[in-house]
Amino acid sequence: MEKEHSDLFTNETERQLYYIEKLNAVLKEKEALLGRKVTCHVTTFGCQMNARDSEKLLGILKNAGFLETDDEENADFVIFNTCTVRDNANQRVYGRLGALKSIVKKNPDKKIALCGCMMQENSVIEKLRKSYGFVNLIFGTHNLFKFAELCYRMYEEGEMIIDIWDKTDEIVEDLPVERKYSFKSGVNIMFGCNNFCTYCIVPYVRGRERSRNSIEIIREIEKLAKDGVKEVMLLGQNVNSYGKGLENEISFPELLKEVCKVEGIERIRFMTSHPKDLSDELIEVMKSSDKICRHLHLPLQSGSTKILTAMNRRYTKESYVELALKIRNEIPDIAITSDIIVGFPGETKEDIDDTIDVINTVSFDGAFTFVYSKRTGTPAAGMDNQVSEEFVRTHFDRVLKTVQDNAKAQAHKKTGRTEKVLVEEINEHDSSMVTGRLSNNLIVHFKGDKSLIGTIVNVKLNECKDFYYYGEMIGDC
């Protein structure tokens, strides 16, 4: 009966909307028994892409009738949206699962689902089957759109459900999304990655690069703007190769120009830019529109050409520096931030010196510094020149200090200026203040109340605390 019914649908979106309704009916029965709403809690690990996926999960959950709660321990349904980019991300998930084990023992009706990048690894699934049998539902990155259907089955069948796909060509549009912020939103423009940097597991767990149709993207952004969204963050592992493989190919800079035309959108951000594909056209488009934020995240990974080659990054120390300085020259008020890995196989003190040299030459406004993590199945994991922990201990702090010194120096340059700020939230430590972000992504705290949230105001940057500012509001924009 189920099958016949679901065969009637013309597309996957309709099919999933049907399962949201079915799940809603199941939850209504549960509500009647419990005398309250059925609650859910989603925890997100990893990057912006995962954060956006979690908004999709929550959109489905809320539409199906779940009530979101902060209380993981007492929630009826807990979902971990996982990351596997570095081993510590995996360990955190196992730690949290371990803590849930005894809670589930006391409350066997509690449901647990795991999804996201970590689930795309066979070894993880084996381990979960063996040691975490209390988990109810496991699915991966390629079939997230099936969440409603899988949840419905979870409640109906009672057995552990594992549904992992190796790949997909499908992009399912128009499922419900529950945004974390009313005034800003991530927008996926592409999925997957084709770059195969030798240390990185993302291409294996997110699959090949697929761009969304630009018409769909603009349609989504127009809808967001109508909904009050002022800032969009265009998301992809390498936004500079957007459009490749699409029939009526448009480039990333062309897409940006289209986004700039959307009325109501006042700020546009994007991430991540791979240095090998960053075009002059992009720099021109960024220059020509002040809607496009003065921030570019341009991961360096290493400043040594030898290591960059081994990483398969396809640029050199010199070409990176040339590109970054060209951008600084063309767009003087831009913030350039980066990602850096310390401890890649074969790395020596001289390679680290090169990295430090690039950090100082480009003067990054900020950078995430990561300890290299060996990821099973990646080419780098098989390299026989892995470096010692002691090497990493010695050199990580050197890199971090250089990053921090440069970030501080860059931040201080804005003291005394008045800048446009998008107000994001009430200050965490002082409720008489609000916290907002400059176009270049710097944070500023200033006196204000919740009526300012989501508005763009002029703020004078009075006092730099190295990585953020205290300021005062000068007026509306």
Q: Is residue 139 within the footprint of ligand SAH (CB under 6 A)?
A: no
Least Å from the CB of residue 403 to ligand SAH: 13
Binding to ligand SF4 by CB under 6 A, coded x per residue (else -) over 352-381, reads ------------------------------
Selected range binding ligand SAH among 155-163, 194-202, 320-328, 442-450, rule: CB under 6 A:
194-202
Least Å from the CB of residue 413 to ligand SF4: 29
**Binds ligand SAH (CB under 6 A): choice among 237, 240, 355, 402:** 237
Rounded distance between C-alpha atoms, residue 144 and residue 176, angstroms: 12
Is there a contact between 307 and 346 (Cβ–Cβ < 8 Å)? yes
Rounded distance between C-alpha atoms, residue 242 and residue 240, angstroms: 5
* Closer by beta carbon to ligand F3S, 238 or else 410: 238
Binding partner at 49 among ligand F3S, ligand SF4, ligand SAH, none, C-beta below 5 to 8 Å by kind: ligand F3S
User: Closest Cα to residue 26, out of 110, 148, 177, 161?
Assistant: 148
Count of residues touching ligand SF4 (by CB under 6 A):
10
Binding partner at 372 among ligand SAH, ligand F3S, ligand SF4, none, C-beta below 5 to 8 Å by kind: ligand SAH
Secondary structure (3-state) at 42? strand
- Give the β-pairing of 77-82 and 39-44: parallel
Q: Is residue 237 within the footprint of ligand SF4 (CB under 6 A)?
A: yes
Residues that bind ligand F3S (CB under 6 A): 46-47, 49-50, 83-85, 117, 202, 205-206
Q: Is residue 200 within the footprint of ligand SAH (CB under 6 A)?
A: yes
Q: Is residue 153 within the footprint of ligand SAH (CB under 6 A)?
A: no
* Closer by beta carbon to ligand F3S, 210 or else 294: 210
By CB atoms closer than 10 A (0-12, 13-18, 19+), residue 329 is exposed
φ, ψ for residue 230, nearest 5 deg: -105, -25
Binding partner at 9 among ligand F3S, ligand SF4, ligand SAH, none, C-beta below 5 to 8 Å by kind: none
Secondary structure (3-state) at 270? strand
At position 103, the amino acid (one-letter code) is: I
Q: Is residue 120 within the footprint of ligand SF4 (CB under 6 A)?
A: no
Is there a contact between 371 and 352 (Cβ–Cβ < 8 Å)? no
- Give Cα 464 distance to the centre of its chain: 28
Q: How far is CA 65 from CA 21, 38, 61, 279, in A?
A: 9, 8, 6, 46
Dihedral angle, C-alpha 419, 425, 426, 427, nearest 10 °: -70
Is there a contact between 95 and 51 (Cβ–Cβ < 8 Å)? no
Residues 6+ apart with CB under 8 A from 424: 181, 183, 184, 434, 435, 436, 437, 453
Q: Is residue 302 within the footprint of ligand SAH (CB under 6 A)?
A: no
Q: Is residue 346 within the footprint of ligand SF4 (CB under 6 A)?
A: no
Binding partner at 341 among ligand SF4, ligand SAH, ligand F3S, none, C-beta below 5 to 8 Å by kind: ligand SAH
Binding partner at 203 among ligand SF4, ligand SAH, ligand F3S, none, C-beta below 5 to 8 Å by kind: ligand SF4
Least Å from the CB of residue 307 to ligand SF4: 14
Task: Kindly list the residues in this chain that would bind ligand SAH in the complex (CB under 6 A).
Answer: 85-86, 199-200, 202, 237-238, 272, 274, 299, 301, 339, 341, 370, 372-373, 375
Task: Kindly list the residues in this chain that would bind ligand SF4 in the complex (CB under 6 A).
Answer: 193, 195-197, 200, 202-203, 237-238, 274
